[in-house]
Amino acid sequence: MTHVAMPQPAAAMKCRAMRVGSAVALLAFAVASASAEDGTRAAFRPCIDPSNLPFANDKGEGFENRIAALFATKLGLPVESYSFPQRMNFIRNTLRFRMPGEDYRCDIVMSIPAIYDQALPTVPYYRSTYALVYRKDHGLDRVKSGDDFLALPAEVRSKLRVGFFDKSPAGTWLVKHGMEAQAKPYPMMSPDPAQYPGQIVDTELAQGKIDAAIVWGPIAGYYAKRVPGVEFVVIPLHSEPGVKFDYAIAMGVRRGEGDWKAKVDKLIQDNQPAINRILHEYDVPLIDANGKPVE
């Protein structure tokens, strides 16, 4: 928690001046906040992770950066991103954070689950699923689906090392199908700012430390196409009883900002084809509500 130093007792005149100054500052902040909610925003201000491709980075290279730029153009506004590592308490430290007398640091989180209690979700703008990734020509080429993977001969399955992030549905799926001995969990949250989710593919899998990985689709698709000299196969997985792999993704605004949500909803609906083109550029495996690929 951030602590604000309180003023020490002083002369009455000084206290009155401080109270007047505080009142003016609060009034200015209230006017600025009301103006933003009324639609006169000075900038499109996304809350982003500074180093989390394919989603976002502080160089503007992620698909969240690209979609933010698209929306800003449609609104005739500049983009002013606020960067904060997307670890624990990201929403509290970005979308919902402000110092006394100051404005919020940012106004929209570009990717949250469509059902989410820490922010007000917009309409979904894409749906993806977890995916199985393996190296081509390394003994798993017959695998074209999750069922094929589970149907591998016992002598093949018993030798596999399958990487996944802890607390993800991948672990539940492996245990459900009797592959806990083959499971190799990686921590979902790391205090090391140099680490990024794609390392499970472009380092661990590429270097043969694991034989396959099960990761969120955008991570799987993006990094599987970006390791020089290594060819990967990406297999989208289907949800099944007890294991949900696919999720709809929305954007998130602060609760109580219904007008802003409605404006973002319309931006998503009016620009869905352009959004899909951006997501395809990043090799995000898109699916519809029935699990069918979205072209």
Q: Residue 39 — very low, low, confident or very high, per pLDDT cuts 50/70/90?
A: low
What is each CA distance from 260 to 40, 108, 136, in whole angstroms? 11, 9, 46
Give the DSSP H or E segment for 92.
helix 90-93
Closest CA to 108 of 140, 142, 70, 54: 70
CATH 1.10.3720.10 fits 127-246, yes or no: no
| pLDDT digit string, tens, across residues 163-179 | 999 999 999 999 999 99
Where exactly are the structural domains of the chain?
15-125+248-281, 127-246
Confidence of residue 153 (pLDDT cuts 50, 70, 90): very high
pLDDT tens digits, 11-22: 333 333 333 333
Q: Please give the single-letter amino acid code of residue 112.
A: I
For strand 246-253 and strand 108-113, is the pairing parallel, antiparallel, or unpaired? antiparallel
Average pLDDT in the 98-117 region?
95
d(CA 199, CA 204): 6
Model pLDDT, residue 268: 98
Beta-strand ranges (E) seen in 139-211 are 162-165, 183-186
- Beta-bridge partner residues of 4: none
Q: What is the pLDDT of residue 86?
A: 86
Alpha-carbon separation of residue 226 from 31, 171, 199, 202 (angstroms): 47, 25, 12, 8
Selected residue with higher pLDDT from 33 and 292:
292
Assigned CATH for 15-125+248-281: 3.40.190.10
Which residue, chain included where needed, has tokens 């799926």? 173
Contact (CB, 8 A) for 86 and 223: no
Q: What is the mean pLDDT of residues 201-210?
A: 97
Task: Estimate the share of the chain in helix, then strand, then coil, as percent rounded to the nearest 5.
Answer: 35, 20, 45
**Which alpha helices (H) appear in 151-271, and where do they start and end?**
154-157, 169-176, 199, 217-224, 258-270
Q: Using one digit for the tens of pLDDT, what is the confidence trace for 68-99?
A: 999 999 999 999 999 999 877 899 999 999 99
Q: Which helix (H) or strand (E) holds 19?
A: helix 12-37
| Residue 66 Rama label (left phi>0; alpha psi -120 to 50; beta) | alpha
When comparing pLDDT for 18 and 113, which is higher? 113
Quickly count: other Cβ atoms within 10 Å of residue 84's Cβ.
Answer: 18
Share of the chain above pLDDT 70, in %: 86
pTM for this one? 0.85
